[in-house]
Structure 1
């Protein structure tokens, strides 16, 4: 492993022709990369080439599975119906699944952010709420109306979890919120590490791995001091 500056793979979003280019294009918000850089890592964007997954895993020391304006195909967690709001990006999901599953099999540190957390939960055997307003009574506006670089609500951090050890002696964190889906049932042995005031699961982890962490918010925006610590811990583990 590269002890000084580990290489952190970051999954890209993908878009159809239009806007930036008349041809299909990849996208990555800058602060995903800058958060990795600030924590001491080297960000490496990952194109959706499933056949290259073993080679890409050989090149990186840790993985960030990013979010995006799309959803995990409900069939992947055994749902027989698909909510009208669900939009999928099947090639991206297939690639991210292969990367995350391969990274975990190597016990490589993996951080799932927003939709990345949701996919991580499904990979670990869990399921998702397909549309929060239809499933959670009196829910918070998890697609917050204010800008994403501001807090939308707080989450309570459960003690004796990896997240609690990372963020320090705090009982809650202020977080941003940009999702309409969430973790429903967690997979076997998966631990819930944080919850919103309305009961929506905001973070998961798996103790069988040295760093398998998912958060429903976007810590790359550094809303609280805990957000930077999440990336610091990722880089620390990637150095090992």
Structure 2
């Protein structure tokens, strides 16, 4: 069976460190998880003006996470929180590609920061800094390795996430200081942490538009690979 082509958004770094010139980067397990799920992953450079051209060659879009935040100007909240970090070039491309994919009803999976960007693209808003707005004993920026769970989540019955995983609860890794605050009509919160923080969203009006706040590419929970598998299967359609 032909593998659907899945575009993965890249992170970007300025000159210095690994290279004397600006460079792109992405953890290998994003790619290996898509391959394991049956997809053919390709990397997408940050060229917003080419977003439609990229999508014309893809079957699905995976918006990855990273150590940065979505510009609050995109969702009507300013000023920028002191703890927030922006990567305008990356966000410009990701928001253009995500909105274009949604318009085409192309399957979209947002992971961690990618879920937050998907929420904004769908018309939602974000919490700029969790400790300021929802103080909690749950370590949403967990101190233990990302290869281990940080806390559990509850999955909403009847949601796409519940259908994909067959689970009412999951163990997840957690590496974020922002989160989804509000979602518009037509967007469903499909998972929450024990403190009530939004951990997953989906838009049933689209063929497949799913966001998860954790990193299923690590496979911390046995149900994590089922999320990637369901996404790839949707891309076959």
Alignment gaps of 5+ in structure 1: none
Q: Deviations over 1:14-66 (max 9, x none)?
A: 00011110000000100000000001110000000112111100111001000
> After the TM superposition, which of the residue ranges 72-81 and 38-47 deviates more from structure 2?
72-81
Distance 2:184 2:16 in 1: 38
Distance 1:209 1:180 in 2: 28
Distance 2:210 2:9 in 1: 16
Alignment gaps of 5+ in structure 2: none
Distance 1:187 1:24 in 2: 37
Distance 1:110 1:200 in 2: 22
Distance 1:142 1:187 in 2: 24
Residue pairs, 1:192-231, within 5 angstroms: 192-231=189-228
TM-score by length of 2: 0.98
> After the TM superposition, which of the residue ranges 87-96 and 50-59 deviates more from structure 2?
50-59
Distance 1:138 1:104 in 2: 33
Partner of 1:36 in structure 2?
Answer: 34
Partner of 1:95 in structure 2?
Answer: 93
Among residues 116, 137, 140, which one is paired with 2:138 in the alignment? 140
TM-score by length of 1: 0.97
Asked if 1:237 is matched to 2:230, the reply is: no
1:171: Cα distance to partner? 1.3
Among residues 168, 172, 194, which one is paired with 2:169 in the alignment? 172
For this pair of structures, how many residues does the alignment match? 237
Distance 1:138 1:149 in 2: 22
Partner of 1:58 in structure 2?
Answer: 56
1:139: Cα distance to partner? 4.1
Distance 2:89 2:184 in 1: 23
> After the TM superposition, which of the residue ranges 48-57 and 106-115 deviates more from structure 2?
48-57
Distance 1:68 1:187 in 2: 25
